[in-house]
């Protein structure tokens, strides 16, 4: 599942995952994350650092946190990863594969 406030970033990540044959769902609304996690039950969450801070205490699955280049790295739950923008799509795919396999 992908959640990011920037529709361009959200679209790129979502389309990349779909192209690589991952089942994916996307939202740009923070308030939808918890409900979608319960319904979709993803193996990994790809989320903006802004949204991560709001939900990290409730996460039971690993997350890949997308941080803006000027942001400080958020304090992560054990096993979660951070990718600073801009990032290579290969780095994102590698992180996804490491977290779900």
CATH code for the domain of 56: 3.40.50.2300
Q: Where does residue 46 rank: exposed (0-12), middle (13-18), buried (19+ CB within 10 A)?
A: buried
Q: Phi and psi for 81 in degrees, rounded to 5?
A: -120, 155
Predicted local confidence at residue 101, as pLDDT: 84
Nearest Cα to 95, choosing from 83, 78, 84?
A: 83
Full residue range of the structural domain in which residue 58 is found = 2-100
Instruction: With beta carbons less than 8 A apart as the criterion, state whether 66 and 9 touch.
Output: yes
Report the domain count for the chain.
1
pLDDT tens for each residue of 37-60: 999 999 999 999 999 999 999 999
Question: Considering the entire predicted model, what is its pTM?
Answer: 0.93
């Amino acid at each position: 599942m992908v959640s990011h406030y920037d529709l361009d970033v959200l679209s790129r990540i979502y389309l990349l995952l779909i192209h690589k044959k991952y089942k994916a769902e996307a939202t740009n609304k923070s308030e939808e994350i918890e409900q979608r996690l319960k319904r979709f039950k993803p193996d990994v969450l790809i989320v903006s650092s802004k949204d991560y801070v709001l939900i990290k205490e409730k996460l039971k699955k690993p997350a890949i946190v997308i941080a803006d280049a000027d942001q400080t790295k958020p304090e992560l739950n054990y096993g979660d990863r951070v990718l600073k923008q801009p990032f290579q799509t290969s780095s994102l795919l590698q992180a996804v594969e490491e977290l779900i396999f």
